[in-house]
């Protein structure tokens, strides 16, 4: 990001020309040669990457092996994707490579979050998202001084580090009558009043506790909440977060706010209004019907074998 900002004078965290340069320009320039060296030694038969990684498909082109993408966002504006692909084509031309065909797009975003008129990727395979968990990560829900209050989880994920925002959000929720767990980068502390700072904990352990989730609207948090049927309050910061907030608000599982102080009143309204929980439950059922990862891997194996046969 530092190199991209030096090149462009712009913030690459926001969608636009600097993001195009960071993903399809700077990252390829700084990492392709070393990554190709490692990949050549490893001799992969399939390369899997996320859609904004242009190093991996460049390697796939150089090694003439198939590749697949695992989605990390909903759809992005077509002009942004066109700019990314155009910049990537410059890199392919630089290395005298021909773009190899993508084998599959593994899409963790459920169909109900598509924009009106938006078509799925022609090679798309829906893959069921699950809330992150990790064996050995212990988490016990703390005992709050006053039980029986509605329960709110606050997390801004891994890309937003803003202790003041977390503090303002937690304070607003506590003032609105919630017991609050804040999950994030800070050191865990004991319950203070109606707020407990838990540090990083697996969302699978703490989301079932929450009546409502307050977040920045990042992909990992959003998909975990959809999988567990948890209504959301979203205060977006950057990247695809505003787009996620708009989609989730449109389908009735979330409300979007612009001020951290609105977290508590908005969450209180949602907890008191059954339609949000009902919409979140419908979303969880639709997510649960998507293809599990255990079935995706054999599909990719078959496609790789077919690709090898086609080449022969």
The Cα–Cα gap between 251 and 268 comes to 19
Domains 2-128+291-311 and 151-288 agree in fold: yes
Over residues 198-246, the pLDDT tens digits come to 888 889 999 999 999 999 988 899 999 999 999 999 999 877 888 889 9
pTM over 0.85: no
Where exactly are the structural domains of the chain?
Answer: 2-128+291-311, 151-288
For the chain, give the percent of residues with pLDDT over 90: 62
pLDDT value of residue 73: 84
In this prediction, residue 164 carries a pLDDT of 82
CA distances, 149 to each of 96, 136, 139, 263, 265 (Å): 63, 30, 20, 16, 14
- The fold adopted by the segment(s) 2-128+291-311 is Rossmann fold (3.40.50)
Digit-coded pLDDT (tens) for 52-100 = 999 999 999 999 999 999 998 887 788 888 999 999 999 999 999 998 8
Residue 4 banded pLDDT, cuts 50, 70, 90:
very high
The pLDDT of 103-111, averaged and rounded, is: 92
Query: 151-288 in CATH: which number?
Result: 3.40.50.2000
Q: Quote the pLDDT of residue 311.
A: 55
Which is nearest to 235 in space by CA: 206, 268, 213, 251? Answer: 213
Average pLDDT over residues 36-58: 95
Q: What is the pLDDT of residue 312?
A: 45
Does 134 have pLDDT greater than 70? Answer: yes
265-309: pLDDT as tens digits: 999 999 999 999 999 999 999 999 999 999 999 989 988 888 765
Res 70: pLDDT: 94
pLDDT at residue 179 tops 80: yes
Query: Are the C-beta atoms of residues 132 and 151 closer than 8 Å to each other?
Result: no
């Amino acid at each position: 990001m530092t190199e991209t900002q030096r090149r462009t004078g712009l913030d690459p965290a926001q969608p636009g020309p600097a993001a195009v340069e960071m993903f399809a320009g700077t990252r390829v320039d700084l990492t392709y040669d070393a990554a190709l060296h490692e990949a050549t030694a490893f001799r992969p038969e399939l390369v899997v990457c996320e859609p904004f990684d242009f190093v991996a498909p460049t390697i796939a082109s150089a090694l003439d092996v198939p590749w697949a993408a695992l989605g990390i966002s909903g759809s992005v504006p077509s002009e942004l994707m066109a700019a990314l692909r155009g910049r990537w084509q410059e890199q392919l031309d630089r290395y005298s490579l021909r773009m190899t065909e993508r084998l599959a797009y593994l899409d963790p975003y459920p169909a109900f979050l598509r924009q009106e008129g938006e078509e799925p990727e022609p090679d798309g395979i829906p893959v069921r998202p699950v809330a992150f968990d990790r064996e050995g990560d212990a988490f016990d829900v703390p005992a709050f001084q006053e039980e029986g209050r509605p329960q709110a989880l606050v997390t801004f994920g891994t890309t937003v580090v803003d202790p003041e925002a977390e503090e303002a959000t937690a304070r607003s929720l506590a003032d609105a009558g919630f017991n609050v767990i804040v999950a994030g980068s800070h050191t865990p502390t004991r319950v203070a009043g109606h707020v407990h700072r838990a540090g990083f904990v697996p969302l699978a352990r703490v989301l079932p506790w929450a009546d409502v989730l307050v977040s920045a609207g990042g992909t990992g948090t959003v998909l975990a909440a959809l999988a567990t049927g948890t209504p959301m309050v979203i205060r977006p910061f950057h990247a695809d977060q505003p787009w996620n907030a708009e989609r989730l608000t449109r389908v009735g599982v979330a409300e979007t706010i612009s001020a951290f102080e609105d977290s508590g009143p908005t969450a209180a309204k949602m907890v008191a209004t059954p339609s949000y929980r009902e919409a979140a439950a419908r979303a969880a059922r639709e997510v649960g019907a998507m293809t599990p990862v255990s079935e995706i891997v054999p599909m990719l194996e078959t496609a790789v074998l077919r690709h090898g046969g086609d080449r022969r």
